[in-house]
Structure 1
Amino acid sequence: MERWKIERMNPQKISLSNHSADGYVIPVGSVHLVFVKTEIGMIGCGAFDVAALERFLVPAAKMKPRTGPSITTIEELLSAQVKEVNAPAIDRGIRVGMSGKEALEHL
């Protein structure tokens, strides 16, 4: 059985209008966990469970790629479309259909 290889996380700074965020791409086996977090909440690829984050009152949105089968880079996540959003994120103004970058501006 092949073990999953988790490489070192190197954050990428994302500049937003009034704050910044940290983006991460974590290769796990043949997939990538891609997410961007602010001090308040986060957006992430399809592997994220926004309902679980809601239980901890973390505003979160799950993104869907605009092209291709999955999100593999920070740039793809920022241009992706909000597919699912939890209640704390709705309270901050995030809506289904927004881009990742738009959603982050609310966090």
Structure 2
Amino acid sequence: MDSIPLTIGGKKAEGFVIPLGPANLVFVKTEKGLVGCGAVDVQALETFGYPAAKVRPASGPSIRTVDDILAGTIAAANGPARALGIAEGMSGREALKRL
């Protein structure tokens, strides 16, 4: 597992890349919530009131890196994330700025 410290919109965040054989589990978390790859179950996290969104890749078949999260497009956001202004179609970087 790789942990990557980030600063997004003046706030600290941490990116994670967990190799799972042919795919990676990739997400970036902030103090308020997270943005992750398609494997992240945003609806399950909603049951805990945790803001979460998942991205689709801007190019290529899958999300493989933290940079892919930042460049990707929000495909789904749960209720707590939407309440913070995160919407489908925005970039992963823009969504993380709201978290």
TM range (shorter): over 0.9
Rounded Cα–Cα distance in structure 2 between residues aligned with 1:78 and 1:18: 15
Gaps of 5+ in 1: 1-8
Counterpart in the other structure of 2:64: 72
Residue 17 of structure 1 deviates from its aligned partner by: 1.9
The two structures have a TM-score, normalised by structure 2, of: 0.96
Residue from 82, 86, 89 that aligns with 1:90: 82
Q: Deviations over 1:40-89 (max 9, x none)?
A: 10000010110000000110001000111100001111000000000000
Counterpart in the other structure of 2:73: 81
Counterpart in the other structure of 1:48: 40
SS of the aligned residue for 1:77 comes to helix
- Pairwise mapping of residues 1-107 of structure 1 onto structure 2 (< 5 A)? 9-107=1-99
- Which of the two has higher C-alpha Rg? 1
Gaps of 5+ in 2: none
Q: Higher strand proportion, which one?
A: 2
The two structures have a TM-score, normalised by structure 1, of: 0.89
CA RMSD for the aligned pairs? 0.8
How many matched pairs? 99
